[in-house]
Amino acid sequence: GAPETRTPTGARTGAPSTANGQQGTFLTTSQGARLRDTDHSLKAGPRGPVLLQDHHLREKITHFDHERIPERVVHARGAGAHGVFTAYGTAEAVTRAGFLRKGRETDVFVRFSTVLGSRGSADTVRDTRGFATKFYTDEGTFDLVGNNMPVFFIQDAIKFPDVIHAGKPHPDREIPQAQSAHDTFWDFVSLHTEAQHHTMWNMSDRGIPRSFRTMEGFGVHSFRLVNSAGETVLAKFHWKPRLGVHSLVWEEAQLLGGIDPDFHRRDLYDAIEAGAYPEWELGIQVFPDIPEETFAGIDLLDPTKIVPEELAPVQPVGKLMLNRTPTNFFAETEQVAFHVGHLPPGIDVTNDPLLQGRLFSYVDTQLTRLGGPNFSQIPINRPHAAVNDMLRDGFHQDAVHAGVAPYRPNSLDGGNPFPAGDAEHAFVDVPVTVAEAPKVRANPASFDDHHSQARLFWLSMSPVEKEHIVRAYTFELGKCYHQAIKERQLQSLANIDPVLCAQVATGLGLPAPEPTVPLADVAPSPALSQLGRQWPTD
C-alpha cells in the first residue's frame, strides 16, 4: 500500500494508508517470514505431542484468541456506510463552518444502530435507532451523533447509567434483548416521568423503522452556531430521508426478526451495491440566542422537548448520499469512534445537561473499547484534515513522532504553532455569560413538565397510528410481572390522555385511573405524523 504522508513533526495527513497484513502473494508470519504449511502443528512424530517451540502455531492461535474487542456498552449492533455530504450554502449566514459553504463536498461515514441489543441481536426490534455521522471536514472532524427520535429519555446525563440499566436485560435472567417487555424498563419510565415523551415515540411506529433509508435523524440537543461575525443562534439538526419516513407494522417486524434478523443492514448494503444510493437532507431549526434559551416558551436546553416544525420550520442546508459499503466491518463499522465533542469552527455546544455529560462519556468508553488513547489513528477515525498535536506515546501508538520538544510553543524545533492567517479556529468559545448562581443539584423548573409533549405527539397521530400506539403499550406492558408497575404507567398515560389510557387499560384488564394533573392545552402538530411525510424539496 501507499505509505502514509507525515509532516516533519510526525503528524498524519491525507487519506489512511493500506493496512499491513495483505502485501505480496505468499503467506507469511506477522514478521514476514515465508511459510510452507499452515495446517499442521509441529509435533514430536506424527502421533506425538505438539511442541511448544512451534512459533507459527502459537502466533496464529494467540492472535485469534484476542480478535474480539468489547462491544459498545450501548448501540452495540450497527451498520455503516461511506458517502458524501454536499452543502447548499444556506447555512452560511448562521455558521462559519466551512463544510456548510455552498457547493462544498465532504466525505462522511454513517453508522446506524439499535440502542439496547447486543451485537448479534435482531434489526427489527422495537427500539430507538442511532444515526451517527462523521463528517471528515478540512477544518477537523465533525461528529453529529444523533438518534432517529428528536427527544431523549432523560434530562441529565447522571441518569444515563440508570436508564440503560433499566432497559438492558435483567441482571438475573438476561431477558429481554430488546427495549420492550420487561419490568425494569416500565418501572424506570413510570418513576422518571420525563421519559414518557421518548417512550411514546418508542411505542409509535417510529420504534420499528422499515429501513435505515426511511428514518429521520435528529441531533436532539440545541447547539450554538457561530457565524464569521461572531454572531450566534441556537439550532437543532434534522435529517430527512429522500424516501420519506416509513415503518414496519408490528407483525412484519416479528416475522422479519425470525426470517431475516439482518433485515436493516442487508437492505442498506443491497441498496448501495445496486446503485440506489440512500439520501437525506440535513436541515436546521434556528432560534434566536436569547439569555433565556427558550423558543415559544419551550426550554431549548431540555432534551425531552421538541420545537414543533409549525413554529420553527426545518431549513435545508445540505444533502447526504451514502454510496459505498465498508470493505471490512470490524475496521470501519466496529472501530469507528464518534464523539459529540468533535466540533469544527462555527458549531458549539450548549449547557444542555445531557449533552454536557455526553462530552465526557464517549472518549471515556472508547479508551476501554478501543484499547487506549490512540484510537484516532485507526484509519476510519483519522481526520482528513492535517493533524499536528502534542499527544504522544501510549498503547497502540502508530506515529513515529520526530523532534525533541513535544510541547508548543518551544524555542528548539517548534516554529510558530499559531501563524497569522485567515484560517478559522475551533474551540474559540462563545463568551456566553455564566449565571451568578449557587451550586445546586437541581433542574430548572421548566424541566418539570413531563406530559405535555407526549400529549402533543399523541394528539398529532392519525387514527391508525394511534391504534398502533395503543397496541404497543398494551403488548409491552402486558409482559410486566408486577401489577404495581402497570398501574403506575397507566397513571402517566392518564396524565397524557384519558382516551389513550382507557384503551390501554382495557387491553390490560385493569381500571383506568383519573388524571392527577391538568391535561396540557396543546394543538396537534401535523408534521409529527409519519403518514404522508415526503422528501422536503420535491
Q: Which residues bind ligand HEM (CB under 6 A)?
A: 72-75, 78, 111, 113, 130, 132, 145-147, 152, 157, 160, 220, 303, 336-338, 354, 357-358, 361-362, 365-366, 369
206 or 358, CB closer to ligand HEM?
Answer: 358
Cα angle, residue 281 at apex, residues 276 and 286 outer, rounded to 5° = 170
Nearest distance in Å: CB 163, ligand HEM? 9
Integer CA distances (angstroms), 184 to 121, 192, 473, 501, in order: 20, 12, 15, 20
Question: Locate cell 503467506: which residue?
Answer: 27
Nearest distance in Å: CB 43, ligand HEM? 43
Q: Which of 90, 523, 148, 91 is nearest to 308 (CA)?
A: 523
Find the catalytic residue in 56, 75, 198, 238. Answer: 75
Nearest distance in Å: CB 113, ligand HEM? 5
Q: Measure the CA–CA gap between 96 and 243, rounded to whole angstroms.
A: 30
Nearest distance in Å: CB 44, ligand HEM? 46
- Expressed in angstroms, the distance from the first to the final Cα of the chain is 44
Nearest distance in Å: CB 364, ligand HEM? 7
Find the catalytic residue in 56, 82, 147, 221. Answer: 147
208 or 336, CB closer to ligand HEM?
Answer: 336
321 alpha carbon, distance to own chain's centre = 18
118 or 361, CB closer to ligand HEM?
Answer: 361
The answer to whether residue 147 is catalytic is yes
Classify burial at 215, counting beta carbons within 10 Å of its beta carbon; exposed 0-12, middle 13-18, buried 19 or more.
Answer: buried
152 or 295, CB closer to ligand HEM?
Answer: 152
167-204 in b/e form (b: 16+ CB < 10 A) is: bbbeeeeeebbbbbbbbbbbbbbbebbbbbbbbbbbbb
Cell numbers linked to 325: 459499503
157 or 501, CB closer to ligand HEM?
Answer: 157
CA Rg value for the chain? 26
Nearest distance in Å: CB 407, ligand HEM? 30
Residues 6+ apart with CB under 8 A from 21: 30
161 or 417, CB closer to ligand HEM?
Answer: 161
Cell numbers linked to 30: 506477522
Q: Give the residue at shortest CB distance from ligand HEM.
A: 130
Catalytic positions are: 75, 147
